[in-house]
Amino acid sequence: MTELPLIDRARAHGSAIAFASKAATHTYQDLLDRSASCAAALLDDRADMEEARIALLVPAGFEYAAAQWGIWRAGGITVPLCLSATEGEWEYALTDSGAAIAVVTAALAEKIGPLCRRLGVRVLVSDSVATAPASASAKPLPNVTPERRAMILYTSGTTSKPKGVVTTHANIQAQIESLVTAWEWRALDRIPLFLPLHHIHGIINVMSCALWTGARIEAFERFDLPAIFDRVRADAYTLFMAVPTIYVKLIQALEAASPEDRAAIVGGFARMRLMVSGSAALPASVHEQWTALTGQKLLERYGMTEIGMAISNPYHGERRPGAVGQALPGVDVRLKAETGAIVTGEDDPGEIQVRGPGVFHAYWNRPDVSAESFDDGWFRTGDMAVLERGYYRIMGRLSVDIIKSGGYKLSALEIEAALLEHPHIRECAVIGVPDATWGEAVAAAVVLADGAALELPALREWCREKLSYYKIPQRLLVVKELPRNAMGKVTKPALRAGF
């Protein structure tokens, strides 16, 4: 039997620790054994799952990886579900993917079990696989080739119903190898995993890259700031990957800590070899704050569910605030202007288009949308960018973060970055709202610091030294919190009603 490379590589790391937590440690051999038992339980009396869709509802950690590998070793397609989703969201993913089985923990089986029974989806409790007889793991497993479909990840669906992004084992391998090369992953690395595992950031960038190289993962069911700080203080990690929202929380907590605690925790961060930010735009102000506080220059990168990671600031070299860097190994990137011309020079905006072995297979059961998403073999990301001194800078989404006002094409991200420098603004989101004079007016929704107050005239006056006049917000909405999806991204369409 020929194993997939990700799984076969684990044999060389057999006795090394793959997952560690307060409760237990598990080796790579444990992962191989448990995933074989899971595969046998899924197969039952079948020889091959033949790309049956299998939903996965398990918290981050050893059990998740064992179930994921078990699904793959049985020949199935894994469909990771969001742990905090509503029943309606689970039902959509299960029915849209046509899932036949759901692998869940005993605790979560109580929540999703009734839905699965109503839909006729078989439930396999992952905890029970641990007590399966030894003979179960000896069951012959099918040969699974890299060309087979491996995973369906549902996009966040902020503007429409989520689409299932289908990747093959070959796509996943290409995504892993690109990052392992670019960020110089090694077996001695240790990394925390607190990102949700229904999203590519946690699945590929953290978990799969670590397991490919024989590194150690310390998993948390959710982001636990005090526990993370304790482990950072103890030099538990060599790498750290998070979203911008988490870095903002870390900065706030460090600034509030006692000088002694702050020094100990900052020392732990400073000794890490790499810290990465992604999944949302990192404001340059946060990048600079983190460097000033810890000495670490965050590495910002750019990717999507459909393509994995495509662009990254360099591991060696300048990590430029406000930029996402250059194309990663094995990835081709181009910019295409609205005129249809390929952008050949710098400082001219265009849509980011990507091709390469890591680019997804198709959207599940959406052939028309899949076809429309490609331009002569290049995936159309829908993100606008500009090349500045060799580095790509994201201007925003074509439909959400690009504001057309008074004949100008404005980047909402650029305006947000400026507003975040205001001493009274803690968080903000900028959108374009319909305006009879301007076409779209720049509108800002802001979360203020405790006890602060802000009116539009004062904000506009403050902005005059920060932004060109046509970029200054014309509308202001003060809110207690910004609406966000499961990955912490602001859902801008939800803000429009407030204006």
Per-residue pLDDT, 134: 53
Tokens standing for 432?
Answer: 């374009």
Per-residue pLDDT, 15: 96
- Taking residue 255's Cβ as centre, other Cβ atoms within 10 Å add up to 10
Tokens standing for 482?
Answer: 């910004």
- CA distance linking residue 420 with residue 129, whole number of Å: 49
Per-residue pLDDT, 159: 43
Mean pLDDT of residues grouped by 10 in the chain (499 residues)?
90 97 94 96 95 97 97 98 88 96 96 97 89 64 96 71 93 98 98 94 97 98 94 98 91 95 97 94 89 97 96 97 96 95 93 98 94 96 94 86 80 90 95 84 95 96 88 95 85 89
Is residue 10 within 8 A of residue 212, CB to CB? The reply is: no
- Taking residue 252's Cβ as centre, other Cβ atoms within 10 Å add up to 12
Residue given tokens 């060599």 in the structure block: 238
Per-residue pLDDT, 103: 98
The strand pairing partners of 158, in sequence order, are: none
DSSP string, 429-464: EEEEEEETTTEEEEEEEEEEPTT----HHHHHHHHT
The strand pairing partners of 355, in sequence order, are: 332
Read off the amino acid at residue 440.
Answer: E
β-strands 122-125, 350-355: how paired? unpaired
Tokens standing for 479?
Answer: 């809110």
Per-residue pLDDT, 64: 97
Question: Which residues, in sequence order, are CB contacts of 201 under 8 Å at separation 6+?
Answer: 195, 241, 243, 278, 279, 303, 487
- CA distance linking residue 96 with residue 371, whole number of Å: 19
Per-residue pLDDT, 135: 54
CATH number assigned to the domain covering 402-498? 3.30.300.30
Domain extents in the chain: 402-498
Of 429, 431, 428, 379, the C-alpha closest to 400 is 431
